[in-house]
């Protein structure tokens, strides 16, 4: 997976480090392109359940953990949903990079996979622009009463 950078470049997600500046999806005044600073970056190896989501007519795909929060467009608003609950026919928010599409991408395929690693990234905006879509920078959902993960302490 390639993360979009403000200079129109890209970097593999596993090479991100604290302090990198990336493209992101801003939500304060609707969906907009913005920049985000990486405040936490860690790679974990192991057998991890995930979803391969295939987007749009070109068949571009992205693989994320089952519980990774995805940003979907639903009735003109943004909805967060865990990847395992994303279905064919849903619309993902587009990437914020200059080469990203200007319209939402319809999910045309969703398949359960086993991943060998996952990247835990937190940014100042809470989002990041990866490959064809804008994604949340949260791999683990917050459980009611749980402490805020270390990734969001800044």
Write the pLDDT tens digit of every residue in 8-19.
788 898 999 999
The residue-averaged pLDDT of 40-54 equals 92
What's the pLDDT tens digit per position in 64-106?
889 888 888 888 777 888 899 999 999 988 775 444 556 788 9
Q: Which of 137, 116, 112 is closest to 23 using CA atoms? A: 137
pLDDT exceeds cutoff 60 at 30: no
Residues near 27 by beta carbon (within 8 Å), at least 6 away in sequence: 78, 127
pTM, rounded to two decimals: 0.75
Q: Give 31's pLDDT tier (boundaries 50, 70, 90).
A: low
pLDDT exceeds cutoff 80 at 114: yes
Rounded percentage of the chain residues whose pLDDT exceeds 90? 27
Q: Give residue 96's pLDDT.
A: 58
Q: Give residue 86's pLDDT.
A: 93
The residue-averaged pLDDT of 30-47 equals 83
Task: Quickly list H helices, the chain.
Answer: none
Q: How big is the chain by its Cα radius of gyration, in Å?
A: 14
Q: Which of 92, 86, 87, 56 is closest to 73 using CA atoms? A: 92
CA torsion 22-2-80-35 (nearest 10°) is 10
Q: Give 32's pLDDT tier (boundaries 50, 70, 90).
A: low
Q: Give 140's pLDDT tier (boundaries 50, 70, 90).
A: low
| Dist CA 69 CA 65 (whole Å) | 9
Rounded percentage of the chain residues whose pLDDT exceeds 70? 77
Q: Give residue 151's pLDDT.
A: 42
């Amino acid at each position: 997976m390639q993360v979009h950078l403000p200079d129109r470049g890209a970097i593999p997600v596993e090479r991100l480090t604290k302090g990198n500046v990336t493209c992101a999806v801003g939500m304060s005044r609707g969906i907009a392109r913005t920049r985000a600073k990486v405040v936490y970056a860690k790679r974990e190896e192991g057998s991890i359940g995930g979803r391969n989501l295939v987007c749009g007519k070109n068949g571009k795909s992205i693989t994320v953990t089952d519980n990774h929060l995805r940003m979907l467009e639903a009735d003109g608003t943004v909805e967060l949903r865990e990847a395992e609950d994303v279905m064919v026919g849903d619309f993902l928010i587009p990437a914020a990079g200059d080469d990203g599409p200007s319209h939402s991408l319809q999910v045309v395929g969703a398949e359960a996979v086993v991943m060998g690693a996952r990247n835990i990234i937190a940014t100042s905006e809470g989002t990041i622009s990866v490959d064809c879509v804008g994604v949340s920078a949260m791999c683990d959902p917050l459980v009611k009463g749980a402490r805020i993960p270390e990734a969001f302490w800044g």
